[in-house]
Structure 1
Amino acid sequence: MQHQFLIIEGNIGAGKTTLSQMLAEDFGFKLLLEEFADNPFLPHFYQNPDRYAFPVELFFMTERHKQLQQELAQRDLFQEGIVADYIFYKTLLFARNNLNTEEYRLFQRLFNILNAAFPKPDLLVYLHRSADRLMDNIRKRGRAFEQEIEPSYLQEIQQSYFEFFRSNEQLPILIIDIEDLDFLNNPEDYQKILDLINRPYRPGLHRASFY
């Protein structure tokens, strides 16, 4: 694998954690997984987003920062490959979608302070699936607190990601349409994704589809 710091991103239910785990095992990379299950505000947020949006986003931001600071800021990235299933910037994307104007303005100031020191990934891979497919995956994995999610919310998150990708010229970003791929159970599908990831990419946005 020519990329030593990989980030696998995607909407809720896209399969980013599964792919990150597979890549870490196959290439001996350090695995960084988002610890979303420890957020005590998350179940309440899905039931009452207006009330719990700020604490849920603040908790996510501080926990992501703590984990990334421990694993990245004091590491030599050339000694061991790293694959993560989130980018710290997603903190701001979700906050923009969930917070009111005043809350977001405050949140953005805190984010900019915390984001300053992190190294940039060699490649950011975004796994794209339609909202319908994401809803299927969310139902299948059966996390109780996710069952309140609406397709419209997933569409809003997707739009936030795409706006970020279009405005970012510093990172190599690869969007892969994996709508009907089953890379967990189908080795050929997994190999297709590997072939795409293990290529050089210039900074900017790149798209790939198998259809």
Structure 2
Amino acid sequence: MNTINPGYVVVEGPIGVGKTSLAMRLADAFGAQPLLEQPQENPFLERFYQSRKQFALPTQLFFLFQRARQIEPLKQSDMFNNGYVADFLLDKDRLFARANLDDDELRLYEQVYAQMSLHLPVPDLVIYLQAPVEVLHERMRRRGVEYERRIDREYLQLLVDAYTQFFHHYTAAPLLVVNAERINIVDNDDDFQMLLSHIRKIRSGRHFLNPLAASL
């Protein structure tokens, strides 16, 4: 991977951690195409945060179909000509399904997922951004998205724990785990360049970037 053609890079992490903003900045730095989730297109999302149990299944299925449609271009043989930087990993779709669906709904979701027969390329790198619930909650408050105000800390903690568990076992692609609690890799150029220097070194395996620990 290099600054000319990064291949297929994914930025992941819980809501509020800054994955979309970082994905856009990385795409610009690499001259790659951003591949971004479009939550505003999901007609069930706002109702989901009002009544999670009632609207979990249609919300989840809409996102599954949307994400599958978005990554369809990655199946083409010329996908690496310019590279892609995405702010979602389809593998983690099941993370939300297991967190929000009851047993019958989850069985239906898994059947739909299997029937789609998605044969997707493996990312060249996955960047997993971590931050405590208090930090995520404050970042969501500052950006002022209306439906996000209904996200309580208990649900946010559930997602943080689910992401931690998911990436603890993730081995499908090279992984860079970033402690994003006290760095600004979107607006601070020094922090961003530090991240880029780590990205350029990664070819395989699991790696960690914890600026807080380094400063102590």
In structure 2, the residue matched to 1:59 is: 62
1:206: how far off? Answer: 2.8
Where do 5+ consecutive residues of structure 2 fail to align? none
Instruction: Report the Cα distance in structure 1 between the residues aligned to 2:116 and 2:198, rounded to whole angstroms.
Output: 32
Contact 2:174 2:202 in 1 (8 A): no
Give deviations 1:4-60, integer Å, cap 9, x for gaps.
110001110111111111111121101100011100000000010010000000000
Report the residue type matching 1:206 in the other structure. Answer: H
Residue from 120, 123, 144 that aligns with 1:121: 123
Report the CA distance shift for 1:57/1:210 in structure 2 as closer, same or farther (over 3 A). same
- Distance across 1 between alignment mates of 2:125 and 2:91: 14
Higher mean Cα deviation, 189-198 or 59-68? 189-198
Deviation at 1:79, TM superposition (A): 1.2
CA distance in 2, matches of 1:109, 1:193: 39
Distance 1:156 1:177, change over 3 A: same
Which of 74, 78, 90 pairs up with 2:92? Answer: 90
**Hey, what's the Cα distance between the residues in 2 that align with 1:59 and 1:7?**
21
What is the aligned partner in structure 2 of residue 10 from structure 1? 13
Deviation of 1:207 after TM superposition, in Å, equals: 2.2
CA distance in 2, matches of 1:114, 1:126: 26
CA distance in 1, matches of 2:105, 2:137: 29
> TM-score, normalization: structure 2?
0.91
The 3-state SS of whatever aligns with 2:58 is helix
- Supply the distance in 2 between the matched residues of 1:90 and 1:168 (Cα, whole angstroms): 10
Would the alpha carbon gap of residues 150 and 115 (structure 1) be closer, same or farther in structure 2, given more than 3 Å must change? farther
Paired residue for 2:208? Answer: 207
Q: In the TM superposition, what are the counterparts of 1:4-43 in structure 2 within 5 Å?
A: 4-43=7-46
Contact in 2 for aligned 1:126/1:176 (Cα 8 Å): yes
Alignment-mate amino acid for residue 110 of structure 2: Q
Q: CA deviation at 1:108?
A: 1.6
SS at match of 1:89: helix
Please tell me the residue identity of whatever aligns with 2:143.
R
- C-alpha distance 95-79 of structure 1, shift in aligned 2 (>3 A): same
For 1:201 and 1:156, the matched residues in 2 are separated by 31
CA–CA separation in structure 1 for the residues paired with 2:197 and 2:111: 39
TM-score (norm 1): 0.93
Q: In structure 1, the residue corresponding to 2:94 is in which secondary structure?
A: helix
Find the aligned partners of 2:144 and 2:52 in 1 and give their Cα distance.
20
Count of residues in correspondence between the two structures: 209
Aligned-residue RMSD, C-alpha: 1.5
Structure 1 residues 200, 183: closer, same or farther in 2, change over 3 A? Answer: closer
Output the CA distance in 1 between the equivalents of 2:59 and 2:98: 13
Deviation of 1:75 (Å): 4.5
Give, as a single letter, the amino acid of the residue that structure 2 aligns with 1:124. V
C-alpha contact (below 8 Å) 2:174/2:203 kept by paired residues:
yes
Letter of the 1:61 counterpart:
L
Identity of counterpart residues, as a percentage? 36
Q: Distance in 1 between matches of 2:152 and 2:94?
A: 21
